[in-house]
């Protein structure tokens, strides 16, 4: 029995095993696909499947690439610090700004665009735009006001007086000046105190030898004067005077009128002069009609003489002597408020100084005036002139 069993195993050795698994027969499927309608349908399904797979994998350009999610925390915005007068002026944020380009102001941005080429008297050129160059180095501060002995209480504030030892405000509050032998040129920039941006720009941007003139109606007037003197500027107060066309053109409630009596002038001057201390002189604001009044002008100049105050006018009162010291401007530099016109007027002022030895100009604190004056003064020394404070242009009556 064992021999028969071995022979059976040996016969089966090396032959493939006969499995009992499931056998797939694809013959019926092949026969079915050979039928044309079925073949077309199957091909369509295969195509649709292929397209769907293609769109799924390749339709997203980021498919198959690594991805990550990060939780971001947005920091709370920090409010920028308030700009200084110089910064605000440089940014063109002031609505009345005119750049040296002379281009119209963009109402959307408040800034003028473009550049202008400014020709100076020596033939040099300066490219100007809305950007302001670096400010000059701060000058030595002037003595803080009030100086002892130069004021007394008045009905509206402290009034300037001549000290018992003979000191006068016209000298004590003036910026010291030492001539170097060159022709001298001086500039007064007025209308300050009403707009904080332009006032700070003039104080910070203009060199200390430029005299600054303040409006008596300005709020915080004493603070502005203190700041200007701390930057080395001597200062003046503007006296509103009756112009042609009054009252349609009205300089304010304390305007000196053409038909005023000496008492009227005295009362208004007490208010105007008592607004602050630290000024060496006064100048007129408008006033082409008031200066024709012998009675009014005599009272006005007499008060200044008694109190030791200088009077520097814009040229409209040139023939009126008086006050403790006097000077009249040779020109107004910004009657036409364009860069070209202002630079032209400043060039003429230089020519006057070189021909006569000295010249005085005056202008208003328009942004374009401040910008042009800052650039113009920067090259005066190289052009053979010396910038002087306006007080250096005054003369005592009879001298």
d(CA 348, CA 391) in angstroms, rounded, equals 21
d(CA 379, CA 180) in angstroms, rounded, equals 16
Residue 375 has pLDDT above 70, yes or no: yes
Give tens-digit pLDDT for 133-153. Answer: 456 667 799 999 999 999 999
Q: Answer whether the bond into residue 247 is a cis peptide, omega within 30°.
A: yes
Residue 70 has pLDDT above 90, yes or no: no
Residue 115 has pLDDT above 70, yes or no: no
More confident residue, 13 or 162: 162
More confident residue, 359 or 399: 359
CA 81 to the chain's CA centroid: 15
Helix, strand or coil, per DSSP, at residue 208: coil
Instruction: Say what percent of the chain tops pLDDT 70.
Output: 65
Q: What is the pLDDT of residue 45?
A: 67
Give tens-digit pLDDT for 341-351. Answer: 999 999 999 99
Nearest to 112 by CA among 344, 338, 276: 338
Output DSSP code: residue 292. Answer: G
Q: What is the mean pLDDT of residues 72-93?
A: 45
Phi and psi dihedrals of 283, rounded to 5?
Answer: -135, 165
Q: What is the mean pLDDT of residues 256-280?
A: 98
Q: How many other C-beta atoms can be found within 10 angstroms of the C-beta atom of residue 275?
A: 21
Contact 390/208 with Cβ under 8 angstroms? no
Supply the range of the domain harboring residue 323. Answer: 147-393
Q: What is the pLDDT of residue 156?
A: 85
Is 155 inside a domain boundary?
yes
Give tens-digit pLDDT for 120-134. Answer: 444 433 333 333 445
Is 232 inside a domain boundary?
yes
Least confidently predicted of 31-35, 138-142, 329-333, 352-356? 31-35
Between the two ends of the chain, the Cα-to-Cα distance in Å is 163
Residue 62 has pLDDT above 60, yes or no: no
Is 122 inside a domain boundary?
no
Q: What is the mean pLDDT of the chain?
A: 79
Q: What is the pLDDT of residue 319?
A: 85
d(CA 367, CA 96) in angstroms, rounded, equals 7
* Domain at 352, CATH number: 3.20.20.370
Is 79 inside a domain boundary?
no
Give tens-digit pLDDT for 154-206. Answer: 988 999 999 999 999 999 999 999 999 999 999 999 999 999 999 999 999 99
For residue 311, list its beta bridge partners. Answer: 282, 326
Residue 17 has pLDDT above 70, yes or no: no
Burial of 118 (0-12, 13-18, 19+ CB in 10 A): buried
More confident residue, 33 or 283: 283
Is 36 inside a domain boundary?
no
Instruction: Say what percent of the chain tops pLDDT 90.
Output: 63
Is 11 inside a domain boundary?
no
Which helix or strand (DSSP H or E) is residue 312 part of? Answer: strand 310-313
Is 115 inside a domain boundary?
no
Q: What is the pLDDT of residue 35?
A: 63
Phi and psi dihedrals of 62, rounded to 5?
Answer: -95, 5
What total of structural domains would you count in the chain? 1
Residue 77 has pLDDT above 70, yes or no: no
d(CA 247, CA 286) in angstroms, rounded, equals 12
Is 353 inside a domain boundary?
yes
- How many residues would you count in the chain? 399
């Amino acid at each position: 029995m064992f021999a028969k069993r071995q022979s059976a195993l040996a016969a089966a050795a090396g032959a493939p095993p006969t499995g009992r698994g499931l056998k797939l027969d694809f013959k019926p499927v092949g026969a079915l696909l050979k039928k044309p309608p079925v073949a077309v349908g199957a091909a369509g399904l295969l195509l649709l499947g292929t397209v769907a797979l293609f769109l799924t994998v390749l339709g997203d350009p980021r498919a198959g690439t690594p991805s990550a999610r990060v939780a971001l925390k947005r920091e709370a915005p920090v409010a920028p610090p308030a700009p200084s007068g110089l910064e605000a002026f440089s940014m063109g944020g002031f609505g009345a700004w005119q750049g040296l380009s002379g281009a119209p102001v963009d109402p959307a941005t408040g800034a003028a665009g473009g550049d202008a080429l400014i020709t100076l008297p020596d033939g040099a050129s300066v490219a100007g735009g809305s950007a302001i160059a670096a400010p000059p180095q701060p000058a030595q501060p002037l003595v803080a006001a009030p100086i002892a002995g130069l004021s007394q209480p008045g009905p509206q504030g402290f009034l300037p007086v001549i000290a018992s030892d003979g000191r006068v405000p016209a000298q004590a509050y003036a910026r010291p000046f030492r001539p170097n032998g060159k022709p001298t040129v001086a500039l007064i920039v007025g209308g300050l105190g009403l707009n904080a941006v332009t006032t700070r720009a003039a104080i910070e941007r203009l060199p200390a030898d430029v005299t600054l003139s303040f409006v008596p109606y300005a709020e915080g007037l004493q603070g502005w004067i203190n700041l200007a003197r701390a930057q080395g500027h001597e200062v003046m107060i503007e006296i509103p005077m009756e112009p042609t066309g009054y009252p349609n053109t009205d300089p304010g409630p304390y305007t000196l009128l053409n038909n005023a009596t000496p008492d009227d002038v005295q009362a208004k001057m007490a208010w105007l002069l008592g607004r602050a201390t630290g000024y060496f002189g006064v100048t007129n604001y408008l006033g082409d009609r008031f200066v024709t009044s012998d009675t009014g002008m005599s009272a006005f100049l007499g008060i200044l003489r008694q109190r030791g105050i200088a009077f520097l006018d814009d040229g409209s009162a040139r023939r009126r002597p008086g006050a403790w010291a006097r000077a009249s401007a040779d020109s107004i530099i910004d009657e036409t408020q364009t860069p070209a016109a202002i630079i032209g007027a400043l060039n003429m002022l230089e020519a006057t100084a070189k021909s006569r030895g000295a010249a005085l100009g005056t202008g208003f604190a328009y942004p374009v005036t401040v910008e042009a004056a800052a650039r113009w003064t920067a090259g005066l020394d190289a052009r053979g002139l010396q910038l002087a404070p306006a007080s250096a242009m005054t003369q005592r009556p009879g001298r």
